[in-house]
Structures are given as C-alpha cells and as structure tokens.
C-alpha cells in the first residue's frame, strides 16, 4: 500500500512539474520555460517567462530577434517609481532562476504593424552569450487564462 501511495504521489508531482516545462526549451546550460505574452496593445507586446542557467558560469541574454513585421525589440524593467528603464542585457547567474515578468525585466516588441491576438503563436529568438541562439514559440494568451 505504501508503494502505491508513493507511486501516485510521485506521478502527480512528475506530471505537475512536466506541465510547467512542457512548453520549454534547453540548449547547452540554459533552460527556458513557457514563454507567453498577453495580446498586443497599441502596437506593442510584452513577453514573459522563466529562464534558468544550469551551468557553473554566468551567461547573458544579449539580444532578442523577432520576425513580426515592424517589431523593434527591447529589454525593459519597470522601477518602483513606475519609470521604465531599458536594459542592455540580462545576466543569468548559475542556478538562479530569472523571471521575465511585468514587475521586473521583460521583453517588449514595439512598432508592430498588425495586432497579435490571444490564441496566436509566433517565433522569437533569444540570443545568449554562451548558449547561443534559441528560437522559442511565444504563446499569446489572455492574462486571465490561468497561472503562468
């Protein structure tokens, strides 16, 4: 009976963990979780998701490339005072998760020629100093659709 309970608990935990990273990517020492964005507003879209450096040395997200028509990419962070600061890159310390989130640093595409709506996906390439270029699929979903 104890083995059955263990197996059920292990299965549930494994399934729950897989769901978090089911839409994830890994290249060299960098893991990227579910990358998502709310629908665009006013020709801009913000992109969120988790990054993790599994290596022993720091890596950096040095640039982001998009094929969306008109897109100008920036890495931005909103300060406590509401002011937006543009970041040159994002450091990924070994073993320390980085959350691309509205309350911290995140990716912004501005100048979009067409709206991006919930239910759509688009490719985005994250370029890391050591791990290189990793192309991910950004899932556009309403913020109310559940936890991210």
Q: DSSP character for 4?
A: H
Q: DSSP character for 134?
A: E
Residue 40 has which token pair?
Answer: 């665009």
Mapping DSSP to helix (H, G, I), strand (E, B) and coil, where does residue 8 land? helix
- CATH fold of 25-143 reads Immunoglobulin-like (2.60.40)
pLDDT band, very low/low/confident/very high, at 148 (cuts 50, 70, 90): low
Per domain, the residue ranges of the chain are: 25-143
Residue 129 has which token pair?
Answer: 């100093």
pLDDT at 1: 44
Residue pair 69/13 in contact by the 8 Å Cβ criterion: no
What is the DSSP secondary-structure string of 33-100? ---EEPPPBTTBEEEBEEEEE-SSS-EEEEEEEE-STT-EEEEEEE-TTS-EEEES-EEE-BT--EEE
44-78: per-residue pLDDT in tens?
Answer: 999 999 999 999 999 999 999 999 999 999 998 87
pLDDT at 86: 81
Q: Is the pLDDT of residue 79 over 50?
A: yes
Residue, of 43 and 23, whose pLDDT is higher: 43
109-128: per-residue pLDDT in tens?
Answer: 999 999 999 999 999 999 99
pTM over 0.85: no
Q: Is the pLDDT of residue 20 over 60?
A: no
The number of residues making up the chain comes to 148
């Amino acid at each position: 009976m104890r083995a059955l309970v263990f197996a059920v608990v292990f299965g549930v935990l494994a399934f729950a963990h897989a769901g978090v990273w089911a839409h994830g990517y890994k290249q060299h020492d960098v893991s990227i979780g579910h990358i998502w964005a709310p629908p665009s507003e006013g020709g801009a879209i913000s992109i969120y998701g988790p990054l993790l450096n599994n290596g022993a040395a720091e890596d950096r997200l040095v640039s982001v490339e998009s094929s969306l028509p008109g897109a100008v990419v920036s890495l931005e962070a909103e300060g406590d005072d509401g002011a937006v600061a543009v970041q040159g890159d994002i450091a990924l310390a070994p073993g320390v998760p980085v959350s691309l989130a509205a309350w911290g640093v995140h990716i912004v595409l501005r100048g979009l020629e067409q709206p991006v709506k919930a239910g759509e996906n688009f490719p985005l390439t994250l370029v890391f100093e050591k791990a290189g270029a990793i192309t991910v699929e950004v899932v556009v979903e309403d913020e109310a659709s559940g936890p991210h």
